[in-house]
Amino acid sequence: MTLATKPLSGLKVVELGTLIAGPFASRICAEFGAQVIKVESPDGGDPLRKWRKLYEGTSLWWFVQARNKKSLTLNLKHPDGLNILKALLADADILIENFRPGVLEKLGLGWDVLHALNPKLVMVRLSGFGQTGPMKDQPGFGAVGESMGGLRYITGFEDRPPVRTGISIGDSIAALWGVIGALMALRHREVNGGLGQVVDVALYEAIFAMMESMVPEFDVFGFIRERTGNIMPGITPSSIHTSLDGKHIQIGANGDAIFKRFMQIIGRDDLANDPALASNDGRDGRRDELYGVIDRWVGSLPLETVLERLGTAQVPASRIFSAEDMFTDPQFLAREMFLQARLPDGKDFKMPGIVPKLSDTPGSADWVGPELGAHNDEVLGSLGYDAAAIANLKQTGAI
């Protein structure tokens, strides 16, 4: 797979991001062929380099999040560092940044300046609360966005405080919206003859946009969706159950025909043929009864037997996968969801595969997250700096 065969080949992306949202957005671009130049502070670089599990002093997450990117160190408080950034942006297609609103403006890199410098530039701005509104200047991480956007309120059990998901889902969803917005802006630029524009993504809005029917349900009925644990009121049966051997399984049998097959496979023809349970509204009205029946059946059998019988009846179900489960699962393996890569010392390791799967122009992971400033010479050389000039930039603290 060469860069020329990837769908974003020829695009130049400059990343001014740290940690999760901005870097995840640019990672997607890099996987599908864009040249991504990640600008980092010479003083340690992206803090993600030191987050979670470290291998030889560097985060394993970093090697995934920064794959296919080029690392350029720039001191943006140094005039020469700022000039280098402007030179990069002069012919870039996309700028991805997740500073607090106002930071770039203080550096003299507001949208008016950048648009005049490069009218074709698309600027993706990821922040806690967006570039406008009374909260725009406040700091906001993904956890705050998940809370304000409604996700945390409905996550957990009704008799306990809200809980978080096990990953920084708010940042990742915001990153996806950022990429979607960038691609729409590029289409407008290329197909409609438009200019570059700003893609403004607020973390709380990225989550809010995923909240399904929450808004009309409150507006029309005054209904506030609450925490409901593992069940989904209004959609029955769909929940998590525990097997005889203490393992957990998600069963989604809320389709009318699926429910009937499910009841038949567990020996409850009376429920399968009950007219009152033939549609979802009737089942939801008797959900406690149905979940009791399902709990008892699942709890009487080992997990593998439950999965086998549900598979025979074509009832959607899955064990609750751990990473260990995934590593040997035939579906994960068949879909190439684990890629073999090498750490800097030569040690082999696996990292997540590429999503989505494109049939003709698939993405790939060509190298892992680089060392800090690994591409300084290459990137600066492409801008016309010779070895002496680069050495001087380093000596003066610009890079």
Structure tokens at 380: 């600066």
DSSP three-state, residue 250? strand
Backbone torsion region of residue 45, taken as left when φ is above 0, otherwise alpha when ψ lies between -120 and 50, otherwise beta: left
- Contact 46/23 with Cβ under 8 angstroms? yes
- Of the candidates 93, 171, 200, 284, the residue annotated as catalytic is 171
Q: What's the sign of the alpha-carbon dihedral 20, 25, 28, 32?
A: negative
* First-residue to last-residue Cα distance in the chain: 33
Angle 263-268-269 from CA coordinates, rounded to 5°: 90
DSSP string, 330-358: HHHHHTT-EEEEE-TTS-EEEEE--SS--
**Identity of residue 305:** T
Phi, psi of 61 (to 5 degrees): -60, -40
Catalytic residue list contains 112: no
Task: Return the active site residues.
Answer: 171
